[in-house]
Structure 1
Amino acid sequence: MKETISLSQPAAVAPPMQKISRLRWSIILVLLIAAVVNYLDRANLSIANTTISKEFGFSATQMGLLFSAFLWPYALANLPAGWLVDKFGPKKMFSWALGLWSGFTILAGFVNGYSMFYGLRMMLGISESPFFTSGIKITHRWFPSNERGLPTAIINTGSQIANAVAPPILTILLLTMGWRGMFIAIGLAGIPILLVWLKLYRNPTPAEEVQIHGDAEAAETQQANQPKASWGSLFKHKTTWFMILGNFSIMFTIWVYLTWLPSYLERSLGFSLMKTGWVASIPFFAGIMGVLVGGVISDRLIRRGTNTITARKIPIVCGAALAACFVAPIPFVHDTTLCIALLSLGYFCSQMPSGVIWKLATDIAPKSQVASLGAIQNFGGFLGAASAPIVTGIILDATGTFTNVFLFGAFLLMLGAISYGFFVKKPIQAAV
Structure 2
Amino acid sequence: MSIMNKDNSQKKAGLRWGFIILLLIGAVVNYLDRSTLSIANTTIAEEFGLSQTQMGFLLSAFLWPYALANLPAGWLVDKFGPKKMFAWASGLWSLATVLFAFANSYSLFYALRVVLGVAESPFFTSGLKVTETWFAKKERGLPTSIINTGSQIANAIAPPLLTVLMLTMSWRGMFIIVGAFGILVMIVWVKLYRNPTETERNMIKNEVQQEEIKKEKQATWGELFKQKTTWFMVIGNFGIMFTIWVYLTWLPSYLEIEQGFSLKETGFIASIPFIAGIIGVLLGGIISDSFIRKGVQPVTSRKVPIVGGAILAAASVAPIPFIENTVVCIVLLSVGYFASQLPSGVIWTLAADIAPSNQVSSLGAIQNFGGFLGAALAPIMTGIILDQTGSFNNVFLLGAGFLLIGAISYGVFLKEPKEVIN
For the aligned pair, the TM-score class normalised by the smaller chain equals over 0.9
Aligned to 1:315: 305
The answer on whether the counterparts of 2:70 and 2:121 sit within 8 Å (CA) in structure 1 is yes
Q: Which 5+ residue runs of structure 2 have no aligned equivalent?
A: none
Select 1:193's aligned residue among 185, 191, 206: 185
For structure 1, which segment, 17-26 or 43-52, has the greater mean C-alpha deviation from structure 2 after superposition?
Answer: 43-52
Partner of 1:130: 122
Q: Counterpart of 1:376 in structure 2: which amino acid? A: I
What are the equivalent positions in structure 2 for 1:374-393 lying under 5 Å apart? Answer: 374-393=364-383
**Aligned residues of 2:74 and 2:122 also touching (Cα < 8 A):** yes
| Structure 1 position 101, deviation (Å) | 0.4
Distance, in Å, in 1 between the alignment partners of 2:112 and 2:383 is 21
Contact 2:229–2:420 (CA under 8 A) maintained in structure 1: no
Residue 171 of structure 2 is aligned to residue 162 of structure 1 = no
Deviates more, 1:321-330 or 1:130-139: 321-330
Q: Which stretch of the first structure deviates more once superposed, 200-209 or 264-273?
A: 264-273
The separation in 2 between residues aligned to 1:64 and 1:253, in whole angstroms, is 18
Cα deviation digits, residues 140-165 of structure 1 (max 9, x gap) = 11011100000000000111111111
Matched letter for residue 316 of structure 1 = I
TM-score (norm 2): 0.93
Q: What residue identity is the alignment partner of 1:244?
A: V
Indicate which of 166, 173, 178 corresponds to 2:170.
178
In structure 1, the residue matched to 2:252 is 262
> Is 1:285 paired with 2:285?
no
- 1:305 maps to which of 268, 285, 295: 295
Q: In structure 2, how many angstroms separate the alpha carbons of the residues matched to 1:182 and 1:401?
A: 34
* Farther-moved stretch of structure 1 (146-155 vs 396-405): 396-405
Matches within 5 A, 1:338-353: 338-353=328-343
Partner Cα distance (1:186, 1:398) in 2: 37
Structure 1 residue 229: Cα displacement: 4.2
Higher mean alpha-carbon deviation, 162-171 vs 31-40, is at: 162-171
Match status 1:424 vs 2:414: yes
1:357 maps to what in 2? 347
Aligned counterpart, 1:110: 102
How far is 1:182 from its partner?
Answer: 2.1
- Separation (CA, whole Å) in 2 of partners of 1:175 and 1:428: 55
Conserved 8 A contact 1:60-1:396: no
**1:379 partner letter:** F
Which among 381, 395, 402 is matched to residue 405 of structure 1?
395
Q: Cα RMSD over matched residues?
A: 2.2
Moved more, 106-115 or 323-332: 106-115
Secondary structure of the equivalent of 1:16? helix
- Give 3-state SS (helix, strand or coil) of 1:24's partner: helix
The residue identity in structure 1 corresponding to 2:304 is I
The aligned amino acid for 1:184 is I
Q: Any conservation in 2 of the 1:97–1:128 contact (CA below 8 Å)?
A: yes
Structure 1 residues 53 and 418: CA distance shift in structure 2, 3 A: farther
1:221 Cα offset (Å):
5.5
Q: In the alignment, which residue of structure 1 is the partner of 2:59?
A: 67
Task: Evaluate the alpha carbon distance shift between residue 102 and residue 195 of structure 1 in structure 2; reply closer, same or farther with a 3 A threshold.
Answer: same
Matched-pair contact (CA < 8 Å) for 1:242–1:419: yes
CA contact (8 A) 1:139 1:152 kept: yes
* Alpha-carbon distance in structure 2 between the residues aligned to 1:55 and 1:377: 39
Aligned length: 419
Cα distance in 1, alignment partners of residues 83 and 63 from structure 2: 24
Deviation at 1:82, TM superposition (A): 0.7
Q: 147, 157, 165: which one pairs with 2:139?
A: 147
| 1:271–1:180 Cα change, 3 Å | farther
- State percent identity of aligned pairs: 67
Contact preservation (8 Å) 2:218, 2:356:
no
Any residues of structure 2 matched to 1:50-89 within 5 Å, and which? 50-56=42-48, 58-89=50-81
State TM-score, norm by structure 1. Answer: 0.91
Alpha-carbon spacing, 1:173–1:335, altered in 2? closer, same or farther (3 Å): farther
